[in-house]
Chains A and B, each alone.
Chain A
């Protein structure tokens, strides 16, 4: 690609025009001397010509048109440029000329041309190149006026003899067309880069947010664990001792049969939320061990079957994958969370299918969990991995499932990608390195050492 043609075209509004007209009287004829100067964004155009001498006019026209100043540039110019075939009767004009309708009337132009200008001025401000070419071929005089509407300058007599110039225009317009194409392509590339940069920035912001939440979660988990330990211990001791009594007064019977078991269930629920939070915060320091990803998928599917109870089909498509090093209990927990989440996204629709796919991809192993369910919109995708973010009704989800998934994937030095759109289902793809880069076990105190590249979220089809 040639270097940045875009700037020359796009900056066409920065320009200056000047010209003068002199009368040269010879012994038996009168000639007009034309001097023209045009500068558009660094390109300088000089024009000198004598009217009534066709050869000179044709050469000067060729010089004029051979410069990189193209039809397109003239068209977009805010200086007024037009071609007249008779006094104030214009057959072609540019944007600047069209904008000067008010001044043009002062030049005493013909009513027909005025009407034409009105039509152009009200709609198509840019004359198409073909009109210019036609006008040049047909003949006329190039008229240039400054934007302030000063005295118009008649520059270049055009006529049948400028056919050569016409071909030059055509050649030039090809170059210009190519330049325009390249400019458009270049702009597309810049736009694409900008979008990518934006996505990376968004991901970084999300990561930072998750890291902060991870620290918070780890802190909360520890602080809750202590009181919950004695609350749970005391209540369950009370329950056991009351239960062991041979006879109980009637009001206490309800405590033994209902109230204390329900209280203990509540304590268990709090404890399991805290345990999830801690998993999200990457505070598990179990040793890495070799494991078979496909076996963990099977294990997760077995448990998932019990949970989804036949509400959807669970399909597996497991390819050969090498042994990985990691924490298999976490991996199966992560897979279970993804599968159950996918099943919930089906909302009991007919023919709901959750597919689990494993593949080797270069030096990575990927496991994808795909559903054909409701899908997610942009705002949901953006907050997906935040702890306690849930789209489920109150009481049906803690909003920790995907937070745990994120923690496990980050813990294994992997990445997770999400593709989803409303109505188009969702696909979560986890990529784990075959040779794990050593992810140091975190210190006992929670720290914000999260991998920046752990998440990539993109819209389906993007």
Chain B
């Protein structure tokens, strides 16, 4: 799974900490998601979608090995 959360966050001018507070997780969790070390649950993905105001498919993409 690949994602463009870092880009989306930059567009909204949010820090990792800001985004983490908005969706109720720790900053380290956002860092792990951005680095593709952790794949979030559907609930978290939908919360991110809500913050970015975009469908989940726009910032999460399946990679070749998925």
Is the A/B pair a real complex?
Answer: no
